[in-house]
Amino acid sequence: MNTILKRALVVAVVSSAAIGCSSGDGDSTSSPAVAVAEVDTSGLEAVIQELNDKVDQLAQNFVVNDDGSSGFVQGTAPAIITESKFGFAFPLPEGIEPTYVGINNPEADSDSGSLLASAGGVSVLLLWVKPDSPLTPGNSVTSSFEVLQANTDADFSLLGAGQDAFTVDEQEAAYATFAATDDNLQTIGVAVIGGWTCESDGRAYALTVSGAEQESVSASFFELVNAFGCEA
């Protein structure tokens, strides 16, 4: 299949070049003999080589099945590693090294801290604290939004919020979606923030996922909260 596609592309390019160079006026058999000028084909050869390279790259995306049919090669999703350094389970793609920063103390610990990570244009910030008085999921979302606003130059505004039937590891939770626009009202940033408290140890969590594209940010957020565990 690769060879056939290569030949078709090469023939198309050569044919187009031949048509462009032919006269097209009168019968060539009645024309007087003329000297043929030497033509520099280096440019054409470069185009053909570029096409060959693109065909090779495209062919890698196809596979021939046992019945002779062809289709796209299925992509390999990265393995998910469960981060459990401080007693909760948090999923991260294999190879992503999170950064831990303290909140109430210089270093993160089991009672409070933050986890930062980024991959594929999406940034993740997980905050956790063990307050003296319980925080509602809404309180956690509000607090994390204030952190987002304080640490970015963009001016985020609320797009929507949800709480009914939304849980994280069977804990009542809430979330809100925010967007930032430029002077021309073009979206330049999107963030989804979720908040919940684990009854087992009293720790309150707030997860902020941000990026430039709504679809990737939302998908990443729900994948992370669906795999979160109050206990590792």
pLDDT tens sequence across 76-126: 445 777 888 999 999 998 888 899 999 988 899 999 999 999 988 899 999
**Of 160, 158, 213, whose CA–CA distance to 189 is shortest?**
213
Report the domain count for the chain. 2
Which stretch of 10-24, 121-135, 156-170, 172-186 has the lowest confidence by average pLDDT?
Answer: 10-24
Q: Examine residue 206 and state whether it is found in any structural domain, yes or no.
A: yes
Domain limits for position 207: 80-226
Strands 99-101 and 90-93: unpaired
Q: Examine residue 232 and state whether it is found in any structural domain, yes or no.
A: no
The pair of three-digit structure tokens given for residue 147, joined into one six-digit string: 């952190």
Q: Which residues are within 8 A (CB) of 158 and not within 5 positions of it... i.e. 6 or more apart?
A: 176, 177, 178
Tell if the pTM clears 0.85, that is, is over it.
no
**Of 55, 75, 70, 57, whose CA–CA distance to 13 is shortest?**
55
Find the helix packing angle between 42-59 and 2-21, rounded to 10°.
Answer: 150
**With contact defined as beta carbons under 8 Å apart, do 2 and 53 qualify?**
no
CA angle centred on 189, ends 185 and 194, rounded to 5°:
125
Which tens digits make up the pLDDT trace of 39-83?
A: 555 655 665 566 556 555 544 544 555 665 544 444 444 577 788
Residue 147 shares a structural domain with residue 178: yes
Residue 129 shares a structural domain with residue 220: yes
70, burial (CB in 10 Å: exposed 0-12, middle 13-18, buried 19+): exposed
